[in-house]
Amino acid sequence: MAAVLERSFIEICGFERETLHRFRDVTVNLGLSALPGGVRFPDSSGGFHYEESGKLLSITSNRFIHWTTSGDTVQLVEQSLDTNLLNNAVRLKFPHCTLLPGGVNIHETLNNVIILIVTNQSVHRLVLPHPTRMYRSELVTELQMQSIFTDVGKLSLQDPAHSTIIPTMANQTGGPSAATAWISHLGEVHYALASPAGGILVLTLPPHDTQGSISVVELKRSTVMQKLAGWMPTAIRGEQSPGDLALSLAVRELEEDSFIFALCQDHKLRMWSFRDQACLMEADMLEYMPACRGVKRVAGQGHRLRLSFSSTTGLCLAVYLAVPQRGQFTVLQLAATDNNRYSLDHISSVFSTQETLVDFALTSTDIWGLWVDDSNTTVVKYINFEHNTAGQWNQVFVQPPPEEEVHIGVDQDPRETYLEVLFSPLRFTASAIVKALQIYRRGSERIVDMSWEALKKEVTVAVENELQSSVTEFEFSQEEYRQLQVEFWSKFYACCLQYQESLSMPLGLTVSPHTAMVCLLKKGFVSFLLPCFAVDHLYLSYDEYLFSEEETPVAEDPEVSRDVLQLVQCLRLVSDAVSGDMAYEMEKALEHLQSPERAAELVLENMLANDNDNVIEDIQNKLQDIRNPTAAMIILLREMDLEVDSEVGGEGLPKPGQSLNVRISLSQLYGSSVAVMVVCQAVCHMAMTRALFCRDLLILQKLYLRLGDNVFLGGGAQLLQLQQDLIPRSSHLLSSYYLLKHTSQSLASSVPMDTIDANLQHLSVLELSDSPAMGTNRSVLSPQTVVELFYQTVARKAIISQIYTQQQSSSPGSMLLHWPHMVSNVVNLLAQLLWPSNPGFQFPECLMANCQYTQLQEYVRLIRPWCQMNVGSCRFVLGQCYLADGEGQKALQCFQEAATEVEKEEFLMRLTGAEEEEAASTPRLQYYNKVLRLLEDVGLPELVILLATLAITEAVNDVRSQAALWTRIFKHHLDLGHNSQAYEALTQNPDSSRQLDCLRQLVVVLCERSQLQDLVQFSYINLHDEVVSIIESRARAVDLLSHNYYELLYAFHINKHNYRKAGTVMFEYGMRLGREVRTQRGLQKQVNCYLAALNCLRLIRAEYAWIVQPTSGAVESECFSSLQYERPGASPKRNYDGEFAADPVKRQVDILELRDLEKEYILARSRLTLAQQHPPSAAIAGSASAVEMVALLVQTGLFDCALSLCQTFNLPLTPVFEGLSFKCIKLQYGGEESQHDAWNWLAANQLSTVVTTKESSATDEAWRLLASYLESHASPNAQHHRSVINKLLSHGVPLPDWLVNAYKAVDAAALLRLYLNFDLLEAAAELVLEYVDALLGKGHQYFGIERPLSATAPLVWLPYTAIDQLLQALNETQTNAIIYNKLQDKLDSYHKLVEQTTRRRLRNQ
């Protein structure tokens, strides 16, 4: 329901949030000196409202300027309720001058805002750009805008165009006492000053954009008029105080003329025509004052004049006659007659109270008055001067000053209590605290601009230091220390009170004719007047007003209305009777979640026990006058209950069809920091007032129960209704308003950036980061209450949208910013958004989004016992708070409790909106999925496991959700190192595909952690083949040296006693090492792998000791077709890209038996030996064949290894002998370096014997090694000797004797042929000679001849072909003639002997 408004208003203070207001100081020095005996005028203030401030689409909507004058200084501040204005405050100082009353006037033209200032010696004109000219585009979207004062420092205010000295008139002493200024329709500026000699002095400046000189006109009565006034008393006529001395001036332009109204000291109002320079009218104001005897004889001092013009009433004047004890407002209307004559029509006379008038304002219907009473208390009232026949002023409830004493409970810390009161957003301005702190520090240092929190720390340090410095004893009791704290904190508090009182001194008020906004202008800040709701009006009204009320808008029936008023009077009595201590106890009971009803009973018992003034009896007497108390209570409770059926702001923002101008204007409406503070403080004051109202009503209801039938005319039925319905409703409302009051005073915390980032991450996980309640544009000012934060980021848009929608439905196409109506709607709708019993959940959601976890926890704590709305949502956001604080178990408990409300509450339903990819079957499962993702994002795997286990019970019939949950459980158990539990979760997964994924992850993770024992020992029931496939695929897919999947697979097969598969794995491992890891380490691993494979095959029976070897290039992911790993669900026809797969290639496989593996092992060991002896060779040795390895080994000098390899693979030994021969040749003719290097490879070969008789060189050892090889590796026909000799002779190396002797004993003919091949004729001839001698019996044993030539011995022979070749060669050269002859002779003798022997043998046959 719409809130019912009363005629009264309530003051809301717009405290500034900065420690020091940022005024820019500008001094205008015209070189003047102070006037002798100058009069100091009281401080004053005023305001100016833009012409279009009431239009929504204007850039000046809700924008105004207010000023304060003090001595020679004027402070100007421009404020807006829609946007924050930058550089909006300026302080102008005019040395040796004094600002005159009415000396500041602001006028608005199409292009400029012109400020006119009048001092007692000078006049000034400031020409500033109009806001509409500061922005070229009409669409202003910035959150902040530049004020018109932004460039005021660039103006040369001393120039004649801006400042002029008032010319001194002849015979004039003293300065002007009042002034006003205006701009004519021609653009000329006129300043009207009240001349001390009487009359009016008018100074005129040309328009600011044209050249010209100043002109001066004096408006003075004619001599005839002066003579007519001769009857006046000397006191008035005296030279020092002429009767026509103007006390107050006002100007109005009508019909191209300017009319100057002057209210003079002789109580007369005179109207001058500036054009004609004549007095058109003179009226005695005492004629409108009854019983004015004696007043004429006294010169007027405090008379004031105000004008108001409207199209309906024309020009009205309000004259205030400051007569002691009889102040009176007279409202007159200017009427024009023929012949340019004017008269005044009396409209109304209103009598004011006896207080001292500070200022008043006149509108077309009302008079607003501002007074200060005898106790220096501000009094504000207003009255409709036309329709108020009873002369009854309407109330304005001004804010009382802070309490003079702070109540400190026995359980409270004095420092914390005082700080809470001092820095509450309602009591003290920052300026008052800063000034008090400077005095308290004795002005030791100037306080620079600091944050609210920093100021709080400074205050704490200052008071504590003062306390510590005053302590003389080292030991004292806790109670004594508490008393000291109270003493020093109360001293500082009293200092703050004094400065707050000074800053709260009222200087004036301003009423906007366009928006009807009323502002009180005080010395230190501005406060705003807001319409008072009916219930608040009744409770706050002064007694004389309350008793004179006859009806109230909350009830239509006069009888019920009378009962309501009587009931409220009783509540006032109850309020007066509640002591401060009992009020404090009631407050604490609400804070500690105790029963409000029980607390009210205790307060009532205390009132009854201490009723010294018979208050209870008075209340009882009044109660008997109430005819139907339950009906009155129901009406009051209904008015205070803010519960609504639908969510506030549900219509959303203006539709896209609306114009861009409208949408932008609405997005900024009431969005400035000033408007935020005013609206939220209004909610706070409403909550405070109504909390007291509900407290007193609850106490009164308890009193009703106690009195029973004595006051209830209706009897038991009404008592039963009171007990079962009204008291619980009152208790619920009391708790609700206490919550609003507490929340609206809770300051928002500043949040570090890392916390904000983490929170945004959590919200994105919950898919809430784009929620309307998740606004994050914080105010630039500090501190900020959480309600201000909520209003600024979330609530304002919803509220303005709803108001706009309602206005458009009632009056389409128009939206006037009528302040009383608009602000009361905004306050009421904001209170509804905050009301805990309403369905909306934006406020807690906003606190969660802005990381206000402490405040949110307190909010949930306060509403939990009695609020049944959004219970699950509150548990959820409380869980978020616990998560942020690191209390995971508590958070999990809250999340579980919230699950029961998932399908009932809008916030949780929005939270569990269906996900695009994996929509769970039930909302509760969707909720669990969101929370699980949140817990995962925070990093709480233990809680994820617990909640997922709980969620599985909800997914009984949902296999897909069960599989996802078991997968989650498996993942987090695995992450935590709970391998057994992870395996258990894996086996429980109903989805085979997910199960296989989990199994793969288990294998990979346990391998990376080297927890192979666990991996091998799991039973893997029905998963054995999958495990093998996974490990094999991983083994073939990853780097061999960084992972040990082959070794794991080997261990797995060994553990299962499958030795052949184990051997197969190690053989494959060795083959890949040889191909891919060509390093010494890789070769070492390869040797070990082949050894392990051999060991495995030797452990099984011979017929099964074989493995399958793939063909070259097949040692990839498809190495063994029998063990091929196929992904389930893969298409048999298409590949991953959707293309048709190629036909499978039929691969040839070879069977490897034990002896084949032994060969591979020896080859691998040879490679390792080579790499150890010569590391650079490792890169090429890895894939070298046996033949290639022999060459590499020979080249490196590993002849033993090469011989072994040749024998294993049945390779010829010739390369080995040739290689060793070449090594010997190099050593034979090499230097010392080659000798040194030779020892390295010689050491790698084992010599058969060791020579110890003499020192041996490397060359000797090499020849010995060659000789030993020739001896130990005999070959048919001495092929090895032949190859060695051939190698030596091809390099021109003389043959060692031992080699020649050894070979000629085996095959002298072959040796001869070798000699002939290399043209060694002498050696060949010598060999033939020796050979012939051996045949003849001389040294035959050296040629392997058992018996020489004889008739009985076996047949002997000579290589005649070779000998013939030798003889031919010798015969062809003269140098060999001797050898030739000698050889020919030897052969001849041999032939003879052969012939003889032959004959002898023939004869013997």
| Average confidence (pLDDT) over 534-545 | 85
pLDDT digits (tens, 9 = 90+) for 576-615: 899 888 998 999 999 999 999 999 999 999 988 887 778 8
For 256, half-sphere exposure in the C-beta direction (CA atoms, 13 angstrom radius) is: 1
Higher-pLDDT residue of 141 and 946 is 946
Residue 224's pLDDT is what? Answer: 36
Q: b/e string for 628-649 if b means 16 or more Cβ within 10 A?
A: bbbbbbbbbbebbebebeebbb
- The amino acid occupying position 1356 is V
Q: How confident is the model at residue 1253 (pLDDT cuts 50, 70, 90)?
A: very low
216 strand-pairing partners: 203
Higher-pLDDT residue of 326 and 732 is 732
CA angle 258, 259, 262 (to 5 degrees): 140
Lowest model confidence (mean pLDDT) among 164-168, 237-241, 1035-1039: 237-241
Radius of gyration of the chain (CA): 57
Q: How confident is the model at residue 779 (pLDDT cuts 50, 70, 90)?
A: very low
Residue 239's pLDDT is what? Answer: 39
Neighbouring C-beta atoms of residue 932, cutoff 10 Å = 22
Residue 89's pLDDT is what? Answer: 92
| Average confidence (pLDDT) over 356-381 | 91
Residues making up the chain, counted from first to last: 1405
Neighbouring C-beta atoms of residue 372, cutoff 10 Å = 15
Residue 1192's pLDDT is what? Answer: 78
Question: Residue 89: phi, psi to the nearest 5?
Answer: -130, 130
Read off the tokens for 1069.
């491992």
Q: SS in 3 state form for 761-806? A: HHHHHCCCCCCHHHCCCCCCCCCCEHHHHHHHHHHHHHHHHHHHHH
The answer, yes or no, to whether residue 918 has pLDDT greater than 70, is: no
**Chain position carrying tokens 């050269």:** 1373
Cα–Cα dist 1259/1263, whole Å: 6
Read off the tokens for 1288.
């030596």
Nearest-CA neighbor of 385 among 313, 482, 321?
A: 313
| Average confidence (pLDDT) over 469-473 | 77
The answer, yes or no, to whether residue 657 has pLDDT greater than 90, is: no
Higher-pLDDT residue of 1349 and 28 is 28
pLDDT digits (tens, 9 = 90+) for 1065-1097: 888 888 888 888 878 888 888 889 889 888 998
Residue 510's pLDDT is what? Answer: 95
Taking the CA atoms of 540, 544, 547 and 548 in sequence, report the sign of the dihedral they define: negative
Residue 1147's pLDDT is what? Answer: 59
Lowest model confidence (mean pLDDT) among 1121-1135, 1167-1181, 1239-1253: 1121-1135
Lowest model confidence (mean pLDDT) among 68-72, 928-932, 1340-1344: 1340-1344
Cα–Cα dist 766/668, whole Å: 29
DSSP structure class, residue 1140: B
Higher-pLDDT residue of 922 and 766 is 922
Cis amide bond preceding 160, omega within 30: no
Neighbouring C-beta atoms of residue 659, cutoff 10 Å = 10
The answer to whether residues 59 and 84 touch, using CB atoms and an 8 Å cutoff, is: no
Cβ within 8 Å of residue 469, ≥6 positions away: none
Higher-pLDDT residue of 1075 and 1248 is 1075
Nearest-CA neighbor of 537 among 695, 665, 396?
A: 396
- Strand ordering across the sheet containing 328-337: 304-310, 314-321, 328-337, 341-351
pLDDT digits (tens, 9 = 90+) for 407-424: 887 878 889 999 988 888
Residue 1339's pLDDT is what? Answer: 66
What are the distances in angstroms from CA 17 to CA 47, 445, 743?
Answer: 22, 22, 18
| Average confidence (pLDDT) over 101-117 | 93
Q: pTM to 2 decimals? A: 0.77
The answer to whether residues 1047 and 1035 touch, using CB atoms and an 8 Å cutoff, is: no
pLDDT digits (tens, 9 = 90+) for 1331-1366: 777 777 676 666 766 666 655 556 667 787 878 777
Residue 1252's pLDDT is what? Answer: 46
Which 3 state secondary structure label does DSSP give 256?
A: coil
Number of H helices, E strands in the chain: 49, 33
Nearest-CA neighbor of 830 among 814, 846, 817?
A: 846
Cα–Cα dist 360/371, whole Å: 9
Mean confidence (pLDDT) of the chain: 82
| Average confidence (pLDDT) over 26-53 | 88
pLDDT digits (tens, 9 = 90+) for 1269-1302: 777 777 777 777 777 777 777 777 787 877 777 7
Q: How confident is the model at residue 527 (pLDDT cuts 50, 70, 90)?
A: very high
Q: Dump the DSSP string for 371-429.
A: EE-TTS-EEEEEEETTT-TT-PPEEEEPPPPPPSS----TTS-HHHHHHHHHTSTTT--
Read off the tokens for 72.
């020679």
Lowest model confidence (mean pLDDT) among 378-382, 387-391, 625-629, 645-649: 645-649
Question: Residue 502: phi, psi to the nearest 5?
Answer: -65, -45
Higher-pLDDT residue of 1155 and 1120 is 1155
- Report the first-to-last Cα separation within the chain, whole angstroms: 158
Neighbouring C-beta atoms of residue 356, cutoff 10 Å = 15
Largest Cα span, the chain: 207
Q: Which helix (H) or strand (E) holds 27?
A: strand 24-27
Higher-pLDDT residue of 833 and 1159 is 833
Cα–Cα dist 505/522, whole Å: 6
- Strand ordering across the sheet containing 366-372: 356-362, 366-372, 378-384, 394-397, 5-14, 526-533, 518-522, 506-511
Residue 516's pLDDT is what? Answer: 92
Read off the tokens for 459.
């205050």
Q: How confident is the model at residue 456 (pLDDT cuts 50, 70, 90)?
A: confident
Residue 689's pLDDT is what? Answer: 94
Residue 707's pLDDT is what? Answer: 83
The answer to whether residues 1398 and 1357 touch, using CB atoms and an 8 Å cutoff, is: no
The answer, yes or no, to whether residue 917 has pLDDT greater than 70, is: no
Contacts 24+ apart (CB under 8 A), 365-373: 367/318, 367/329, 367/331, 368/509, 368/511, 368/518, 369/329, 369/393, 370/506, 370/508, 370/509, 370/520, 372/506
What are the distances in angstroms from CA 522 to CA 13, 180, 429, 510?
Answer: 10, 22, 12, 11
DSSP structure class, residue 1020: -
pLDDT digits (tens, 9 = 90+) for 976-986: 999 999 999 99
pLDDT digits (tens, 9 = 90+) for 299-320: 667 889 999 988 888 899 999 9
- Strand ordering across the sheet containing 268-273: 246-254, 257-264, 268-273, 278-284
pLDDT digits (tens, 9 = 90+) for 274-292: 988 889 889 998 888 876 6
Neighbouring C-beta atoms of residue 1181, cutoff 10 Å = 26
Cα–Cα dist 773/511, whole Å: 36
Q: b/e string for 817-826 if b means 16 or more Cβ within 10 A?
A: bebbbbbbbb
Higher-pLDDT residue of 1400 and 103 is 103
The answer, yes or no, to whether residue 771 has pLDDT greater than 70, is: no
Q: Inter-axis angle of helices 673-707 and 596-609, to 10 degrees?
A: 60
Q: Inter-axis angle of helices 1080-1098 and 1059-1076, to 10 degrees?
A: 160
